[in-house]
Amino acid sequence: MASRFNPLKADAHWQKVWDEAGTFRASDASGRPKAYILEMFPYPSGRIHVGHGRNYVMGDVLARYKRMKGFEVLHPMGWDAFGMPAENAAIERKVHPGEWTRANIAAMRGQLKLLGLALDWSREFATCDPAYYGHEQALFVDLFEAGLVYRRESEVNWDPVDMTVLANEQVIDGRGWRSGAPVERRKLSQWFLKITDFAEELLDGLETLDQWPDKVRLMQQNWIGKSRGMRFRFRIADPTAGFDSFEVFTTRPDTIFGSSFAALSPDHPIALALAEGRPEVAAFIAECKKGGTTAAELETAEKLGFDTGLKAVHPLDPEWLLPVYIANFVLMDYGTGAIFGVPGHDQRDFEFAHKYGLPILRVVAGSAADADRPVEGEAEPGEGVLVNSRFLDGMDVEAAKAAVIARAEGEGWGEGTIVWRLRDWGVSRQRYWGTPIPIIHCPTCGAVPVPRDQLPVVLPEDVDFETPGNPLDRHGAWKNVACPRCGGAAARETDTLDTFVDSSWYFIRFASQPADRPFDKAAAERWLPVDQYIGGVEHAILHLLYSRFWTRALRRLGMLGIAEPFQGLFTQGMVTHLTYRDADGNWLLPEEAEAAMDAGLPVTHGRIEKMSKSKKNVIPPEPIVAQYGADALRWFLLSDSPPERDLQWTDAGIEGAWRFVQRLWRLASAEAGGAGEDASLERKLHRTIAAVGANIEALAFNKAVANIYELANAIEKAPPSASRAAAVETMILLVAPMVPHVAEEAWAAAGRERLIADAPWPEADPALLVEEEVTIAVQVNGKLRDTLTAPKGAPRQALEEMALASDKVARILEGRAPRKVIVVPDRLVNLVA
RNA sequence: GCGGACGUGGCGAAAUCGGUAGACGCAGCAGACUUAAAAUCUGCUUUCCUUCGGGAAGUGUGGGUUCAAGUCCCGCCGUCCGCACCA
């Protein structure tokens, strides 16, 4: 047997063996319990780096482990292939987006294959395949017919660089999530999916996701943003411009007697109507729109108001008139676009009242005795008892809320209600490289869905990107069609779907891909939900919320009997690497940095950052695999850092991993020899079997790695014995999910005919998990003074006597008897002097 | 501003229920093997003191609860993440 493991030969060999045997092909018909392991599929942006690899290797270890545990494992791979980078590449390099995308997929598939991933490649697809997006169009038509899709003119987030609309979720600090350009407001006709119809169940469903990180559940909960409160109508004392009342929403109906003004959003219909006849109103509204939307600007933005001169009648006192302002801080798209101001108990209203000299009334106080204490410095939004509030006086906040709502509902001027922060999902994109929206606009029939037998609506290939904007819009031959309903001249919708639609159901298509429909219900339900989903936390809201919505929508349509698509979710950390910059702050490749230093130019070590092309700190997998092999790379990616935390790429780290792979090989290929039992090694082995299994299931790969190191150390120190030879063999099984190539090689070298990938996971013998002897800590006053060895399960009395017999303890106690003795069996004895 | 997470050796980290802090790895030091190097193997490696037996301190910081706190509670400091004029 060779003294060194040669990954160059072994990697390719075993990858071919797995491939030819169809080892990782998932069977829909197997009787074994299923496990669906999925990593978020990649966008084919060019090349992968080792940071992407970490994600796939984690899923791979779990998939291989589950196979060994007897599960039928579905572990597929595909490509989230629509999106703007392809179009940008088309514009810059004059290649067709499809060509660019296909070339990237081919390159990245080759890179992934170098890692020896246990993937079922037979289910691979790209979302830009008409065979995929055609079914997506069919699903869109289904949702359309079910009333879950609608079109409306709306003010949208317009990205002036990418020349497209962005969803609210895609606007970060007022800038486009991709381009980074400040987002503009524009009015456009857009297609929307009714995700708000599902707000309640998306929120409640979070409760069932106990295998999701709390952090992600909390983020979704905040995003959905449920607020309970009351809606009520203010009558306008002197109706103008055709309006005699307006509605407001509040979460604090209890403070209704603390109100000193009402305020309308600058976009409110009444404000807009007033602006028609009064230039000063129009000017104020224009002023409000000027301000930026970045965090910093909003932080410092002044509260601005314009007194319309209108008076609102207090709903509980017809004599009480409130001034009506237009105020810049009132948002049209939350609640009703109008508020009633309670300066004493809301900070924004407080600032507003200060600026415009409005009364600041106290209606909540710590106790009734504080009723006359003025509210000073800042608003008091907290708990207390109601004061200065007529029939509410003396109630606590919750009771007062209920009392006001009951009164309003009884008298018919308001009602208890719930308001959501979540908005409907705008899915129209004015881009070419996406799924065409399967709708035809007919001047007579309106928006007509493309009949199912005419799907897919295929993207035309012959498009030009010379002119800015959407090339579909200019493509007459594609765009101009007959109306499917009346046969008259009509035009295709030229907007394409947000690519997040593509990724909202790909996991269903992986489970089942018939040619004639999106998926087969029974086949999909065999695999779904995904047992373990792995990906970046950056998708905590967008992709994960949309997928949950899509799955629930399909359920409502009766197409799928599953509520939640992802039972387990894991968000892994990034791989980071050193960066270098020159004197001008430009990023340098490591070799450029070296050359510059040799030339005596100043080079600064940048921060250790997430690998990215722009920072020039990416490590591609090819040279690493060529030098150290796939197993060393996999081992490194699993070692040391907890998987949810960032992992720093270092040359020393990959070399350490390579040394371990070689060490495994040496252990496995050494002459076995020896006879007889080694009870202590067997205990170690069985504890390791249990620990590695538990740690892999918990995705604590770094701990599983440490368990293996401990076992390897113990085996190396153990004298030859039959136990030792068996331990080596078992260790090969334990590392097989993590370093599969060297494991197969060692397995074959040991004369095994079956693949180790098909071998069963070893079972820990429960009898060997229990120690016969334990080390007992002996403390005096809580400080460790001695340790002693006792049989497992020794009685308290015996432990106490042994502890008192210790010389060290005797020296410290100086002959005194301890006042108190605490004995924790099998752990410690604490003598309190 | 609101919400959340985290803070342990030179570094990555571990410590499952409040019970021997630092397992395991990296880096480092010393030694073995070698003509030499690589590879490999052995030992040491939290800090300070030491009469070499051991002793003291120690998990961001200050308190508290407890026989016992990295772990629980309260305050503070710092780092990171999410949301943000949400009525």
pLDDT at A819 over 90: no
Alpha helices by DSSP H, A254-346: 269-277, 279-290, 295-300
A380 Cβ nearer than 7 Å to chain B strand: no
> Which pLDDT does position A607 carry in this prediction?
66
Residue A481: partners with Cβ closer than 8 Å, 6 or more residues away: A440, A490, A491, A492
State chain A's mean pLDDT as an integer: 90
Helical segments of A146-212, H only: 199-205
Expressed in angstroms, the distance from the first to the final Cα of chain A is 63
Q: Which two tokens stand for residue A599?
A: 């030339």
Helix (H, G, I), strand (E, B) or coil at A153: strand
Measured in whole angstroms, how far is the alpha carbon of residue A249 from the centre of its chain?
A: 32
d(CA A494, CA A471): 9
What pLDDT is stored for residue A300 in this prediction? 57
- How does DSSP classify residue A307? E
Q: Is the CB of A698 under 7 A from strand B?
A: no
Q: How far is the CA of A215 from the C1' of B5 (A)?
A: 8
Cα torsion through A86, A92, A94, A98, rounded to 10: 0
Closest nucleotide to residue A784 (Cα to C1')?
B20
Give strand B nucleotides closer than 7 A to any protein Cβ: 3-5, 12-16, 19-21, 23-27, 39-42, 55-57, 67-69, 81-87
Q: Between the CA of residue A509 and those of A123, A126, A135, A142, A556, what are the distances in Å?
A: 9, 11, 9, 16, 18
Q: Does residue A294 lie within 7 Å of nucleic acid chain B, judged by its CB?
A: no
Window 248-277 of chain A: CB closer than 7 A to strand B: 249-252, 265
The reply to whether A833 has its C-beta less than 7 Å from any atom of strand B is: no
CB A702 under 7 Å to nucleic chain B: yes
- Chain A residues 530-549 with Cβ under 7 Å of strand B are 537, 540-541
From CA A413, how far away is CA A89, in angstroms rounded? 58
C-beta of residue A330 within 8 angstroms of C-beta of residue A337: yes
The answer to whether strand B lies under 7 Å from the CB of residue A135 is no
Q: Of all residues in chain A, what percent carry a pLDDT higher than 90?
A: 62
pLDDT by residue (tens digit) across A81-102?
Answer: 999 889 888 888 889 999 999 9
Chain A residues 60 to 89 with C-beta below 7 Å from nucleic strand B? none
Nucleotide nearest to A348 (CA to C1'): B85
Q: CA–C1' span, A3 to B34, in Å?
A: 19
User: Which single residue has its CA nearest the C1' atom of nucleotide B68?
Assistant: A782
Give the position of tokens 């060997």.
A768
Nucleic chain B contacts, protein chain A, residues 199-238, CB cut-off 7 A: 214-215, 218-219, 222-223, 225, 227, 229
CB-hemisphere CA count at 13 Å for A19?
Answer: 11
Q: Are A787 and A775 in contact (CB under 8 A)?
A: yes
CA of A37 and C1' of B39: distance in angstroms? 39
Going by C-alpha positions, the residue among A37, A9, A47 that lies closest to residue A117 is A37
Across A358-382, average pLDDT:
87
Smallest CA-to-CA distance from A7 within A631, A783, A832, A793 is with: A631
> pLDDT higher for A235 or A578?
A235
Specify the pTM. 0.92
The percent helix, strand, coil of chain A (3-state, each to 5) is 40, 20, 35
Confidence of residue A153 (pLDDT cuts 50, 70, 90): confident
Estimate in Å the CA A39 to C1' B59 gap, whole number.
35
Alpha helices (H) along A531-678: 542-556, 590-598, 621-628, 630-638, 651-669
Our measurement of CA A789 to C1' B11, in angstroms, reads 35
Q: Which of A280-289, A360-369, A504-513, A602-611 has the lowest mean pLDDT?
A: A602-611
| Mean pLDDT (whole number) for A291-301 | 50
Angle at A542 between CA A540 and CA A548, to 5 degrees: 85
Confidence (pLDDT) at A356: 92
Query: Which residue in A716, A710, A714, A665 sits closest to A691, CA to CA?
Result: A710
Looking at residue A654, its pLDDT comes to 93
Nearest amino-acid residue to B84, taking CA and C1': A295
CA angle, A501 then A502 then A507, to 5°: 110
| Nearest-angstrom CA–CA distance, A698 and A772 | 28
Evaluate if residue A292 carries a pLDDT over 70.
no
* Distances in whole angstroms, Cα of residue A459 to Cα of each of A44, A149, A190, A525, A688: 19, 22, 20, 31, 55
pLDDT over 90 at A744, yes or no: yes
CB A421 within 8 A of CB A223: yes
- In this prediction, residues A560-589 reach a mean pLDDT of 87
Tell me which of A244-253, A542-551, A664-673, A810-819 is least confident.
A810-819
Q: Is the predicted pLDDT of residue A234 greater than 50, yes or no?
A: yes
Nearest in space to A471 (alpha carbons), one of A34, A200, A96, A42: A96
Residue A334: CB less than 7 A from any atom in strand B: yes
Task: State the residue for tokens 């069996």.
Answer: A825
Interatomic CA–C1' length for residue A698 and nucleotide B87, angstroms: 43
A578 touches strand B (CB under 7 A): no
The nt closest to A640 (CA vs C1′) is B12
Contact flag, residue A792 CB and nucleic strand B, below 7 A: no
Strand B and A420 CB separated by under 7 Å: no
Whole-complex ipTM: 0.94
Give the pLDDT score at A1: 45
**Residue at the smallest CA–C1' distance to nucleotide B15:** A703
| CB of A617 within 7 Å of some strand B atom | no
- Helix A679-697 vs helix A50-68: angle between axes, to the nearest 10 degrees? 120
Closest residue to B66 (CA to C1') is A782
- Per the DSSP assignment, residues forming a β-bridge with A776 are A788
